[in-house]
Every structure is written in C-alpha cells, then in structure tokens.
Amino acid sequence: MSRTLLAIRGLETHFPVAQGVVKALDGIDLELRESEMLCVVGESGSGKSAAARSILQILDRPGRVVGGQILLYRYEGDSEVPSETIDLARLDRSSREIQAVRRRDISMIFQEPMSSLSLAHTCGDQIVEAVRLRHADMSKRDAWARAVDLLKQMQLPDPALTAGQYPFQLSGGMRQRVMIAMALASEPRILIADEPTTALDVTTQAEILALLGRLQRSLGLGVIFITHDMGVVANIADRVAVMRRGKVVETGDLASIFDSPQHDYTRMLLASVQRLEQPSDLKVPATAAVPPPSGVVEPLLQVRELSKTFLTRTSLFGGSRQTLKAVDGVSFDVLPGENVGIVGESGSGKSTMARCLVGLYPASSGSMLYRKSDGKSVELVGSTRKGDDPLLREIRMIFQDPFSALNPRMTVGQIVGEPLLLGRVARGRELKERVAELLQLVGLEPKMMERYPHAFSGGQRQRIVIARAISLNPRLIVADEATSALDVSLRAQMLDLMLQLQQRLQLSYVFITHDISNIRYFCDRVVVMHQGKVVESGTVAQILDAPSMPYTQRLIASVPRPYTSKAPPLSH
C-alpha cells in the first residue's frame, strides 16, 4: 500500500471577472499516491488546468484559491506516517512556505516548452538554477555537472552541448526534455504535468510519454498528468479523474473507468472518442454508387509530382537566398464521392499542399488534373483562379481556425452570401433565401443571418465556415484541419455534418489532419506525408492496420488509442 502524497478536499478556485465570478473549481477531491500516475482528463472549460495551478498557487491573476484543502504529506525515510502535513490552500502565493514547497516537494512541467522556458538563458543555466534552489550550498560547477547528468538521463544525444544551448536552438521534443530535467532537478516527490505533450507531434509525444513513464517508475514519483486526450490516458494512467465544469465527476483506476464508466459524462466522453475509431455509420462506400460502364472510375482530381518551393530571406541586395521545399513531388488521386485523408506531422507540407490544391499558393511544378462537371479535364497548375472563374466554385476550402476564418466586421449573412454575390449567382432577395437555405443545411437557424460572428461558439462558427464553403455547390472540398480546433465531443458532430452534406451534394473531400484518430471515421483512403514527400498511401485499412513503411509504422504505433487492451473491440 503506497503512501498518500497529496490529498485535495473540496478545493474551490474562483476568477473574479467584470460580470461576476467564474468558478473554475467548484469543490473537487483528488488523491495522489507514491509511484502512481493520476490522469486528470477533461475538455476545455473543465478546470483541469486550474486544478494543476491551484496546487502550487501559481494561478494567473486574478485567480485565487478560495476554499478547501490541499494537503501535502512529507515523509521521513520509509515511515508510513507523515512527518509533516501542510495545507497548501492556506499558504499565500508569494510566501516563503510555498516557495519551499516549490523548491523541494512538487515540480511542474508545462504545455508549451518554447514559451515556458526563458529565451535569454541557456538550458544549463535554467537547470542549474533549479538545482541550486534545492541545494543552496552547491557550487556552480557541481550544479552544472548535475545538470548535464540530468540531461543525459533524458536521453539527449549530446547533453553537454544541449546544456550550453538556448531553448530556441532546440526542437520541440528536446525542449520538453529540458523542461523535464529542470523539474526533476529539485528531486521532488510529486510531478505535475500540465498537458506536456499536447503541443508535440504524435511521434515525439510517444517518446516523451515513454520517458515520463520510465522516470516515474524508477524514481517512485507521484505524477498528476493533465490531458484532454483519452488515448493518452489509456496509455499511461494508473488512476483517472474525469472533470467537467469545475467538478470531478468520476474517479477510479484505469480499468474501471474505461471498461465500466459510471457517470454519464464519462461514458459520453469515451463514446465520442471511441466512436471515431470506427468508420462512421453515415459513410457510404465510394464505389456503391453506380459503376460506370467501363468499370473504371475516372478520378476527380489527379495530382502528379506536385512541388512547392519557398524563397526565404530576400535581402535588399539579393544576398543569402534560402529555399524551403515544402512540398516535394506529391502524387495521389481523389475519386468522385470518396474522402482522401492527408496525414502528417508538423513540417510535413500538408497545409501548403492544401493551399496549392485550392489555388492560394501557385504550385512550383507538377500537375493537378481536375475533371470538371462537364467531363473535361483542366490543368490547375499554372492557371490563376480569380474573379468569377467557375473553378473557384467547384473546389472550395474549410479552414482550421473558426475565429480567424470569419471577418468579424461582416454579418453571417454577408459572409455566407459573399461567394454567391461575387460569383454573380444571386442578388437581393434571392440571395437571402439561398443563404437561409445554406444555414439550415448546416444546422443553424436562418435568422442568425443578421448577427455578427462574435456571438457564436467555435462549433457554430465552423458550421458557418462550412455553409460558406458549400454555397456554390462544389464538387471538391479541401478541409484543412477542419476539426482540430474543436473539442472531442464536437468533432464527431462536425464530421457527421460533413458526411451528410457529402451525400446530399455529391461531394468529395480532401481531409488534411495531423490527428490520425479522425481518419478511420471519415476517410476512405489515406496519404501519409513526411517532410514534403508522400511516404505511403492506400486504403484506411491498409495504412492504419498494416502499414508497410517504417515511418508510417512508427507514426501509427505512436497514436495512443483510447482502449485499455491493445486491440479495440470488434466493430459493431
């Protein structure tokens, strides 16, 4: 029976705002034991981050802990009885006592290592500082040696070199390792990790999770791991606490939470994530449509050897030109009525390629053959699509960020009507009617036309973006990370909407994403990109269940699946 390190009882954290008070934490209970990985999981607004920050009293102002207890237990040697109990909730945020706790008992790592580390100090300096805060009388040289040793434990290739470098010289994964080293430098019993892998690529995430797991086991740390990703939870947790709107709705060990969830919300959360692991009910197999007499389906879009090179650093005198080959010889097909997923990590070039497809960037070389509604094929590379070019109507785009994709100074009606107006399809009354129709198609009330975007939530805005995209009856929609900015529970809804529209309007989608879990639900075929090139392509089953290329294998293996056993339950 391992000892309890931290006991949170009835914790309340409030944020006073202009209109009143926001109750970020409304009385939560949590317990953390030695050598235990406790995952606190919830969507945005659940209060999970506030919980993490309340413990160390580092809430952003004006947040404050207003009630409850945060009991920290200190132990001498192997004694079962705590030698000291401190209620952290009672401590003032800038008091000596809490600073002492931060220096020796509890360490924390954060989400964005680029902005969470100081850019003006070397990695070594920052770790040394943590070491010397714990051991005040250690010499600078010894502290530096300790820092390098810690970095070695993080499995960095050249620890001494890294110690002398600045954070901006390192990659995201390396920065996070530096941050972990810094946290462990104070030899804590408890580690709080606030979404440490959310900003990392999937493959890097897998490495960091493995590292954290090993360290936890070898050092006997109690870890509170905050995340929104149920897959990560399934991968690493010993115990799970589910949070919603400032309350903990359910706690339990991993198996009970995943196999027999008690609370409705937990069930809903698991369901919406696990649902995405199967193809959607709404999916009609692409070839179920009437096969053409020749038996061969002509592709809607044929991309061959597409490349896009950027020039960076144009100096005034034409010196030092650097080129960046974002897209390097990409080829794939899109058949009518099918959804092709383009999957890749950051830097893979998928976003650039999406913009080339749509015509926002002119491609540098290669070919994109598009078959129009009248059957004729047209070469998209080299043509500029402007003004009332009919191609603009047929190939449309859905953007990632619903907040920057809508002009805040135009009404919803004006935004959705803009392509109709510019394409000279409708005017005046007719335009309004058409806009009303479109809004209804995406599940919004037509009277919302008069409102401005700031009145709508993220999910609603994304629907407006979709309404704008389908306004001209397109045949191909390029969705650039269309669901990445949404909460998991909304994602399935959005994807269902897109599938419904596909059936009604006879669309095809090119679905760009870095999140592989959507692919199985939505797509028919998958193209895997890495550093501008296509690594592998094939059907969803081929790529996700039996990848052949090493990069793809590593990528698929890194994706945390939201199941406690390795194999997902057989499909319904």
Name which of residues 512 to 571 contact another protein (CB under 8 A).
none
Q: Which residues contact 456 (CB under 8 A, 6 or more apart)?
A: 412, 448, 464
| Identity of the residue, 419 or 547, whose beta carbon is nearer to another protein in the bound complex | 419
Per CB under 8 A, which of residues 103..142 are in contact with another protein?
103-104, 107-108, 110, 112, 115-120, 129-130, 133
| Identity of the residue, 89 or 406, whose beta carbon is nearer to another protein in the bound complex | 406
Residue 63 within binding range of another protein, rule CB under 8 A: yes
Judged by CB under 8 A, the stretch of 231-239, 284-292, 382-390, 502-510 that binds another protein is 382-390
Residue 401 within binding range of another protein, rule CB under 8 A: yes
Residue 78 within binding range of another protein, rule CB under 8 A: no
| Interface with another protein (CB under 8 A), residue from 2, 139, 171, 314 | 314
Residue 360 within binding range of another protein, rule CB under 8 A: yes
CB of 115 to another protein, least distance (A): 5
Per CB under 8 A, which of residues 403..462 are in contact with another protein?
404-409, 415, 418-419, 422-423, 450-457
| Identity of the residue, 72 or 544, whose beta carbon is nearer to another protein in the bound complex | 72
**CB of 190 closer than 8 Å to CB of 7:** no
Residue 56 within binding range of another protein, rule CB under 8 A: yes
Residue 360 carries which DSSP code?
Answer: S
Residue 358 within binding range of another protein, rule CB under 8 A: yes
| Identity of the residue, 146 or 283, whose beta carbon is nearer to another protein in the bound complex | 146
3-state secondary structure 96-143: HHHHHHHHHCEEEECCCHHHHCCCCCCHHHHHHHHHHHHCCCCCHHHH
What distance in Å separates the CA atoms of residue 398 and residue 284, rounded to the nearest whole number? 22
CB of 414 to another protein, least distance (A): 9
**CB of 381 closer than 8 Å to CB of 306:** yes
Judged by CB under 8 A, the stretch of 51-59, 72-80, 150-158, 275-283 that binds another protein is 51-59
Question: On the CB side of 260, how many CA atoms lie within 13 Å of its CA?
Answer: 2
What distance in Å separates the CA atoms of residue 144 and residue 273, rounded to the nearest whole number? 45
What distance in Å separates the CA atoms of residue 131 and residue 109, rounded to the nearest whole number? 15
CB of 474 to another protein, least distance (A): 11
| Identity of the residue, 338 or 487, whose beta carbon is nearer to another protein in the bound complex | 487
| Interface map 157-186 toward another protein (x if CB under 8 A) | ---------x-xx---------x--x---x
Residue 144 within binding range of another protein, rule CB under 8 A: no
CB of 260 to another protein, least distance (A): 28
Distance of CA 542 to the CA centre of its chain: 24
E strand or H helix that includes residue 172: helix 172-184
E strand or H helix that includes residue 540: helix 540-545
| Interface with another protein (CB under 8 A), residue from 1, 17, 288, 290 | 17
SS3 204: helix
Q: Smallest Cα–Cα separation from 282: which of 504, 513, 537, 471?
A: 504
| Identity of the residue, 18 or 296, whose beta carbon is nearer to another protein in the bound complex | 18
Per CB under 8 A, which of residues 465..494 are in contact with another protein?
465, 468
Judged by CB under 8 A, the stretch of 217-225, 259-267, 396-404, 426-434 that binds another protein is 396-404
CB of 224 to another protein, least distance (A): 13
Q: Tell me the DSSP string of 209-221.
A: HHHHHHHHHHHT-
| Identity of the residue, 453 or 547, whose beta carbon is nearer to another protein in the bound complex | 453
Residue 322 within binding range of another protein, rule CB under 8 A: no
What distance in Å separates the CA atoms of residue 400 and residue 300, rounded to the nearest whole number? 24
Per CB under 8 A, which of residues 194..253 are in contact with another protein?
245-246
How far, CA to CA in Å, does 22 sit from each of 13, 19, 63, 91?
Answer: 9, 9, 9, 22
| Interface with another protein (CB under 8 A), residue from 15, 82, 219, 559 | 15
CB of 118 to another protein, least distance (A): 5
Q: Which residues contact 194 (CB under 8 A, 6 or more apart)?
A: 49, 52, 53, 108, 109, 110, 111, 226
What distance in Å separates the CA atoms of residue 221 and residue 191, rounded to the nearest whole number? 7
| Interface map 21-50 toward another protein (x if CB under 8 A) | -x-x-------------------xxxxxxx
CB of 19 to another protein, least distance (A): 6
CB of 304 to another protein, least distance (A): 23
Measured over the CA atoms of residue 34, residue 36, residue 37 and residue 41, the dihedral's sign is: negative
- Type of residue at 529: M
The owner of tokens 């434990």 is 153
CB of 102 to another protein, least distance (A): 3
| Identity of the residue, 98 or 215, whose beta carbon is nearer to another protein in the bound complex | 98
SS3 439: helix
- Type of residue at 246: G
| Interface with another protein (CB under 8 A), residue from 209, 236, 392, 510 | 392
